[in-house]
C-alpha cells in the first residue's frame, strides 16, 4: 500500500538552494513527489507557519569510539601541551586503547547513543570514519559496527588516522596497503578512504600511496588536510581528484585555486578551531576562489559536538558565511562531499523526504539564535523519527 504524507502551512522553506514562502510538500513512500501542490493524502502534518529545511548531512564524523576525554579539558585550559597530555595517558592514544578494548556490541551501543543525539539535533545522514583501531582486526571491527547503524543513512569511511604504538608510519602503511585495504574491499565495508596528512603523522607521499591504492579498490579518496600546517596535502587532493579536502585551516591561495579547478569540496569543521582556540578557515576566500564549501561537526572525543545547528552558527559568526550559504553547506554541499546528493541534501522531487520542521520563523534564525535546539520534528524517508515535547 502506498503511504502518502502532506506537510502543509510551511511558512518558509529552504530547499537546499533557495527560500520558498507559503508552500507545502507532498511525499509518497518516503520520496518527495511534489512541492507546492496540496494533494489528497493519508496523513497531514500542519507546520503552522514554521520553517522547514532538509535534514542536516554531517559529512565528517568520528562518531564511533569508546572512552570520553572530558578529563583532559582542565589540562587544556591550563595550557598543557598535546604532547604532555599524551604522556599523561590522554590524547588519541587513550581513545585507541579504549576502542580496542570495547566489544562490537559495546561500540554499537555507545555509538547509537550519539546517533540519537545527532538525530535530535536534526542530522538525518552522516559520514562515519574508522581510525581508532590502527590494526586489521580493530579497523574491521569499527567498520563492521558503522555498517550496522540504522535509523539514519550512515556512510562508512576507512581512515588512516595515526601511527600505531610500536610502529613507524611506513610500517603501518605497508600493513594498510598489504592487508587492510584488500580486506575492506573484499567485504565492501567502506565507500571512502581518508588519511590524516600532517607533519608528524603521514606525509604527502605516504598519503598519495594510500589514497591511490584505495581508489584502485573502489574507494573514493578524502583527505584530512592543512589542519596544523600547509605541506601540500590540499594540492594532493586536487591532483588525485579527492571528493573533499577537510579542515583546511592553513590552506594557501594557490592550493585553494587548484582544488577549485579539480572540483574538490572544501569541508570545513569550525568546531575544531573553536575547541583549539585557533583561527578559523577563510571561508570567504575559498568561495571567492570558486570552492564549494561543506560543513560538518568533526564529532570526536577531542571535539565532542553532535549539533549541526551550532556548526552553522559558528560558520556565520566566525567564518563570515551568510545563513543561507551555511545552510546549503550543511545540507546539499555536505551531501555532495559524501556522494549522496542524488538521494539526500535537498528538498526536491525524487529525493528522500528527509525534512526538519524547525521551531523558528525563518532560515536566518538557525544561524542567529545560539545554543537552543530549534528542531521540532525530524522526518527521515517520510517517517517521523523524533519530535520535541512542545
Ligand atoms: Zn576528522
Q: How far is the CA of 288 from the centre of ligand 1 (A)?
A: 25
Alpha carbon distances (Å) from 325 to 16, 51, 124, 177, 342: 10, 16, 19, 39, 20
C-alpha cell at position 207 = 598519503
Residues 62 and 21 in one domain: no
Instruction: Tell me the C-alpha distance between 294 and 64, whole Å.
Output: 21
Task: Say if residue 373's pLDDT is above 90.
Answer: yes
CA of 247 to the centre of ligand 1 (A): 8
Closest C-alpha to 277, from 86, 77, 62, 69: 77
The b-or-e profile of 74-87 (16+ CB within 10 A means b, else e) is: ebbeeeeebeebee
Q: Which residues pair with 277 in a beta bridge?
A: none
Residue-range definition of the domain harbouring residue 379: 4-53+347-387
Distance CA 284, CA 291 (A): 10
27 within a domain of the structure (yes/no): yes
Q: How far is the CA of 338 from the centre of ligand 1 (A)?
A: 14
- With vertex at residue 214, the alpha carbon angle to CA 135 and CA 330, rounded to the nearest 5 degrees, is 95
CA of 80 to the centre of ligand 1 (A): 22
Contact 215, 209 (CB under 8 A): no
CA 22 to ligand 1 centroid distance, Å? 39
Convert 265-304 into a string of H (helix), E (strand) and C (coil). EEEECCHHHHHHCCCCCCHHHHHHCCCCEEECCCCECCEC
pLDDT per position as a tens digit, 242-251: 999 999 999 9
User: How far away, in angstroms, is 290 Cα from ligand 1 center?
Assistant: 23
Tell how far the Cα of 220 is from the centroid of ligand 1, in angstroms.
16
> Are residues 157 and 239 both part of a single domain?
yes
| Cα-to-centroid distance, 60 and ligand 1 (Å) | 6
- Same-domain check for residues 322 and 376: no
The yes-or-no verdict on residue 1 having pLDDT over 80 is no
Ligand 1 centroid – CA 47 distance (Å): 36
Tell whether the model's pLDDT for residue 199 goes beyond 80: yes
pLDDT of residue 228: 87
CA of 183 to the centre of ligand 1 (A): 23
Domain co-membership, 114 together with 36 = no
Q: How far is the CA of 304 from the centre of ligand 1 (A)?
A: 12
CA 193 / ligand 1 centre spacing (Å): 12
Q: Domain count of the chain?
A: 2
Predicted confidence band of residue 331 (pLDDT cuts 50, 70, 90): very high
State the distance from the centre of ligand 1 to the C-alpha of 10, rounded, in angstroms.
36
**67 and 32 in one domain?**
no
Q: Is residue 258 part of a domain?
A: yes
Per residue in 114-159, pLDDT tens?
A: 999 999 999 999 999 999 999 999 999 999 999 999 999 999 999 9
Distance from Cα 110 to the centre of ligand 1, integer Å: 19
Residue 390: pLDDT band (50, 70, 90) is confident
Q: What is the Å distance from ligand 1's center to 345 Cα?
A: 21
Gap from CA of 130 to ligand 1 centroid (Å): 10
In a domain, 162, yes or no: yes
CA distances from 130 to 100, 142, 164, 196, 390 (A): 12, 6, 14, 12, 37
Regarding whether 14 and 103 lie in a shared domain, the answer is: no
Residue given cell 604527502 in the structure block: 204
CA distance 234 to 183: 28
321 & 370 share domain? no
User: pLDDT for 34-71, tens place per residue?
Assistant: 999 998 898 999 999 999 999 999 999 999 999 999 99
pLDDT of res. 244: 98
Question: End-to-end distance of the chain based on CA atoms, in angstroms?
Answer: 32
Question: In this structure, what CATH number is given to the domain that contains residue 88?
Answer: 3.20.20.140
Is 174 within a domain? yes
Query: Is residue 154 domain-shared with residue 41, that is, in the same domain?
Result: no
In angstroms, the CA 229 to CA 244 distance is: 18
Query: Mind listing the pLDDT tens digit for each residue in 227-266?
Result: 888 889 999 999 999 999 999 999 999 999 999 999 999 9
Q: Kindly report the number of other CB atoms within 10 A of residue 153's CB atom.
A: 21
**Ligand 1 center to 23 CA (angstroms):** 38
Residue 83 clears pLDDT 90, i.e. is over it: no
Long-range contacts of 23-29 (CB under 8 A, 24+ apart): 25/52, 25/347, 25/353, 25/355, 27/353, 27/382, 28/2, 28/3, 28/4, 28/382, 29/2, 29/3, 29/4, 29/382
Do 296 and 174 lie in one domain? The reply is yes
- Give the number of other Cβ atoms within 10 Å of residue 384's Cβ: 14
Amino acid at each position: 500500500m502506498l503511504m502518502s504524507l502532506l506537510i502543509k502551512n510551511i511558512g518558509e522553506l529552504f530547499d537546499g538552494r533557495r527560500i520558498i514562502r507559503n508552500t507545502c510538500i507532498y511525499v509518497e513512500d518516503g520520496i518527495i513527489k511534489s512541492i507546492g501542490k496540496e494533494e489528497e493524502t493519508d496523513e497531514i502534518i500542519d507546520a503552522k507557519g514554521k520553517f522547514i529545511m532538509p535534514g542536516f548531512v554531517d559529512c565528517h564524523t568520528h562518531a564511533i569510539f569508546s572512552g570520553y576525554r572530558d578529563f583532559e579539558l582542565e589540562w587544556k585550559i591550563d595550557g598543557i601541551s598535546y604532547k604532555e597530555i599524551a604522556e599523561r595517558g590522554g590524547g588519541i592514544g587513550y581513545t585507541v586503547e579504549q576502542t580496542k578494548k570495547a566489544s562490537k556490541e559495546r561500540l554499537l551501543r555507545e555509538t547509537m547513543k550519539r546517533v540519537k543525539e545527532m538525530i535530535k539535533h536534526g542530522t538525518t545522514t552522516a559520514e562515519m570514519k574508522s581510525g581508532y583501531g590502527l590494526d586489521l582486526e580493530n579497523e574491521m571491527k569499527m567498520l563492521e559496527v558503522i555498517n550496522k547503524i540504522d535509523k539514519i543513512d550512515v556512510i562508512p569511511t576507512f581512515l588512516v588516522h595515526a601511527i600505531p604504538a610500536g610502529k613507524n608510519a611506513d610500517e603501518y602503511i605497508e600493513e594498510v596497503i598489504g592487508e587492510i585495504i584488500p580486506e575492506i574491499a573484499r567485504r565492501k565495508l567502506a565507500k571512502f578512504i581518508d588519511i590524516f596528512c600532517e607533519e608528524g603523522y603521514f606525509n604527502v607521499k605516504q598519503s598519495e600511496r594510500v589514497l591511490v591504492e584505495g581508489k584502485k579498490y573502489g574507494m573514493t579518496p578524502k583527505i584530512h588536510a592543512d589542519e596544523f600546517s600547509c605541506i601540500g596535502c590540499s594540492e594532493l587532493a586536487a591532483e588525485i581528484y579527492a571528493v573533499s579536502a577537510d579542515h583546511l585551516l592553513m590552506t594557501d591561495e594557490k592550493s585553494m585555486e587548484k582544488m577549485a579547478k579539480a572540483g574538490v569540496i572544501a569541508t570545513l569543521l569550525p568546531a575544531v578551531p573553536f575547541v583549539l582556540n585557533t583561527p578559523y578557515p577563510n571561508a570567504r576566500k575559498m568561495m571567492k576562489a570558486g570552492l564549494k564549501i561543506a560543513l560538518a561537526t568533526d564529532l570526536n572525543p577531542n571535539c565532542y559536538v553532535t549539533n549541526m545547528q551550532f556548526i552553522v552558527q559558528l560558520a556565520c559568526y566566525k567564518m563570515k558565511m551568510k545563513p543561507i550559504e551555511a545552510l546549503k553547506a550543511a545540507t546539499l554541499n555536505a551531501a555532495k562531499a559524501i556522494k549522496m546528493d542524488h538521494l539526500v541534501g535537498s528538498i526536491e522531487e525524487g529525493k528522500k523526504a528527509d525534512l526538519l520542521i524547525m521551531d523558528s520563523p525563518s532560515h536566518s534564525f538557525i544561524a542567529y539564535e545560539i545554543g537552543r535546539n530549534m528542531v521540532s520534528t525530524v522526518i527521515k524517508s517520510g517517517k517521523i523519527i523524533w519530535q520535541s515535547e512542545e
